Structure 1
Amino acid sequence: MIQETIVTTVNSNGDPHIAPMGIHVNGDRFVILPFRPCNTLNNILETNTAVINYVDDVRIFAGCLTGRRDWPLKKAEKVDCQYLEAALAHCELAIDRIEDNEVRPMIFCKALHTVNHKPFRGFNRAQFSVIEAAILVSRLHMLPWKKIESELEYLHIGLDKTAGEREMEAWRWLMEVIEDYKHEVIQA
Structure 2
Amino acid sequence: MIQEVLISTINAEGETHIAPMGVHVDANQLIVLPFKPSLTLDNLLQTKTAAINYSDDVRIFAGCVTGRRDWPLLPTECINGNYLADALAHTEVKLEQLEDDSVRPRLFCTRLHSVNHKPFQGFNRAQYSVLEAAILVSRLGRLPWEKISSELDYLRIGLEKTGGDREWQAWGWLMQAIEEYRLNSEDL
The 8 Å contact of residues 145 and 186 in structure 1, kept in 2 or not, is answered as no
Match of residue 30 from structure 1: 30
For structure 1, the 5+ residue unaligned runs are none
3-state SS, counterpart of residue 132 of structure 1: helix
For structure 2, the 5+ residue unaligned runs are none
Q: What is the count of residue pairs matched by the alignment?
A: 188
Q: How does 1:11-50 map to 2 (within 5 A)?
A: 11-50=11-50
Following superposition, the deviation at residue 26 of structure 1 comes to 2.0
1:78 equivalent to 2:75? Answer no
3-state SS, counterpart of residue 134 of structure 2: helix
The 8 Å contact of residues 97 and 109 in structure 1, kept in 2 or not, is answered as yes
Q: For the aligned residues, what is the CA RMSD?
A: 1.0
Match of residue 136 from structure 1: 136
3-state SS, counterpart of residue 61 of structure 1: helix
Counterpart code for 1:142: R
Q: Deviations over 1:8-47 (max 9, x none)?
A: 0001111100000000012331100000001000001110
3-state SS, counterpart of residue 104 of structure 1: coil
Which whole-Å CA distance do the structure 2 matches of 1:163 and 1:171 have between them? 10
Which whole-Å CA distance do the structure 2 matches of 1:74 and 1:183 have between them? 38
Q: Could you tell me the percent identity over the aligned residues?
A: 60
Which whole-Å CA distance do the structure 1 matches of 2:26 and 2:187 have between them? 43
3-state SS, counterpart of residue 185 of structure 2: helix
Following superposition, the deviation at residue 186 of structure 1 comes to 5.4
Match of residue 121 from structure 1: 121
Change (3 A) 1:186 1:129: farther
Following superposition, the deviation at residue 183 of structure 1 comes to 1.7
Q: How does 1:1-188 map to 2 (within 5 A)?
A: 1-185=1-185
TM-score normalised by length of structure 2: 0.98
Q: Deviations over 1:96-155 (max 9, x none)?
A: 111111111100001000000000000000000000000000001100000000000000
3-state SS, counterpart of residue 178 of structure 2: helix
Which whole-Å CA distance do the structure 2 matches of 1:187 and 1:109 have between them? 38
Which whole-Å CA distance do the structure 2 matches of 1:97 and 1:169 have between them? 38
The 8 Å contact of residues 17 and 39 in structure 1, kept in 2 or not, is answered as yes
3-state SS, counterpart of residue 90 of structure 1: strand
TM-score normalised by length of structure 1: 0.98
Q: Following superposition, which runs of at least 4 residues in structure 1 exceed 2 angstroms of deviation?
A: none
Counterpart code for 2:8: T
Following superposition, the deviation at residue 187 of structure 1 comes to 7.3
Counterpart code for 1:173: W
Following superposition, the deviation at residue 87 of structure 1 comes to 0.2
Counterpart code for 1:30: L
3-state SS, counterpart of residue 70 of structure 1: coil
